[in-house]
């Protein structure tokens, strides 16, 4: 009798231990880590650099590409480093060298633009296009709407608008007087249509770069991390597509 009671207690203990372990693992992979610094500033610049390696050139056409996420203003400084990794994606690390997220293209699918992974490999977000009419009360009627999806449900969305739709025939004239990087403007919204962030082309810069600005007090750390990852994904797929195409060629195709 005592043996049976002891056996039942042991099973209960093991069950509780497994439940606690599973909850701990789910919590660990429930958010993107190492992104607290995104709350220290509201304005960031994302820069892209092509790195040359003359000593040991790549046997393929894949070129090393480096990303920097720098804060602007009083909190200025480099917050994140990114690297385009052949056969994988973009590994974004903190200035301390800890991986914050893994940004990847789709796995043999065109149903979404790409995804944002936890460093442990769990997919936390996917970015997919929304094909129905945009209902936001905006001055601009042009643009494509995208959803940042988590567990099959949209949690944030953004609208990508080509700069030619904004400036129209004045676009070429504007470029004569302003050095502008990028061909798109991105506007991010919560699901209730509240505006929370935007991406604009960098001006007066010869580097390939974009400007990301969050509206003060409107976003959580996790929302900022998802927006940053989605912006970098959009950057390599649409703004500087040569990098996305180069990465896609390096991926194993089933």
Kindly report the CATH number assigned to the domain that includes residue 65.
3.20.90
The distance from CA 17 to its chain's CA centroid, rounded to whole angstroms, is 35
| Residues 175, 141 within the same domain | yes
In the prediction, which pLDDT does 30 show?
Answer: 85
| Residues 54, 96 within the same domain | yes
In the prediction, which pLDDT does 121 show?
Answer: 93
Residue 161 CB neighbours (<10 A) = 17
In the prediction, which pLDDT does 143 show?
Answer: 65
* Domain encompassing residue 62: 32-250
pLDDT block averages, 10 residues each, the chain of length 254:
48 48 53 95 93 53 91 85 95 96 88 94 93 47 82 94 60 45 83 94 76 93 98 94 93 73
In the prediction, which pLDDT does 182 show?
Answer: 57
Do 240 and 65 touch, CB atoms closer than 8 A? no
In the prediction, which pLDDT does 33 show?
Answer: 95
In the prediction, which pLDDT does 206 show?
Answer: 62
DSSP state of 224: H
In the prediction, which pLDDT does 18 show?
Answer: 45
Q: What is the pTM of this model?
A: 0.80
In the prediction, which pLDDT does 205 show?
Answer: 61
Phi/psi of residue 142, each to 5°?
Answer: -90, 160
| Residues 20, 54 within the same domain | no
In the prediction, which pLDDT does 29 show?
Answer: 77
What is the domain count for the chain? 2
Please give the C-alpha separations between residue 6 and each of 9, 20, 238, in angstroms, as whole numbers.
5, 21, 62
In the prediction, which pLDDT does 237 show?
Answer: 94
Structure tokens at 104: 């990847």
| Residues 18, 112 within the same domain | no
| Residues 5, 116 within the same domain | no
- Burial status of residue 72 (CB atoms within 10 A of its CB: 0-12, 13-18, 19 or more): middle
Structure tokens at 158: 């953004």
What residues contact 164, with CB distance under 8 A and at least 6 apart?
Answer: 171, 183
| Residues 25, 139 within the same domain | no
In the prediction, which pLDDT does 56 show?
Answer: 47
Please give the C-alpha separations between residue 52 and each of 63, 88, 139, in angstroms, as whole numbers.
7, 20, 43
């Amino acid at each position: 009798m005592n043996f049976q009671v002891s056996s039942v207690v042991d099973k209960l203990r093991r069950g509780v231990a497994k439940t606690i372990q599973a909850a701990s693992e789910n919590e660990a992979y429930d958010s993107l880590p190492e992104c607290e610094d995104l709350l220290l500033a509201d304005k960031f610049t994302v820069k892209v650099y092509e790195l040359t390696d003359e000593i040991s050139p790549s046997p393929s056409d894949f070129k090393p590409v480096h990303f920097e996420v720098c804060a602007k203003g009083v909190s200025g400084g480099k917050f994140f480093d990114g690297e385009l990794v052949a056969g994988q994606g973009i590994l974004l690390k903190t200035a301390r060298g800890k991986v914050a997220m893994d940004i990847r293209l789709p796995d043999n699918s065109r149903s979404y633009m790409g995804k944002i992974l936890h460093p442990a490999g769990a997919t936390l977000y996917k970015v997919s296009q929304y094909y129905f009419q945009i209902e936001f009360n905006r001055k601009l009627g042009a643009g494509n709407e995208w959803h940042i999806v988590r567990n099959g449900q949209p949690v944030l969305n953004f609208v990508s608008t080509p700069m030619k739709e904004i400036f129209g025939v004045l676009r070429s004239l504007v470029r004569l007087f302003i050095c502008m990087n990028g061909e798109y403007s991105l506007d991010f919204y919560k699901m209730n249509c509240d505006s929370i962030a935007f991406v604009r082309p960098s001006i007066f810069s010869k580097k390939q770069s974009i400007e990301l600005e969050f509206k003060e007090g409107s976003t959580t750390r996790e929302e900022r991390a998802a927006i940053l990852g989605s912006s970098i994904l959009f950057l390599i797929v649409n703004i500087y597509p040569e990098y996305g195409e180069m990465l896609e060629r390096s991926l194993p195709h089933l």
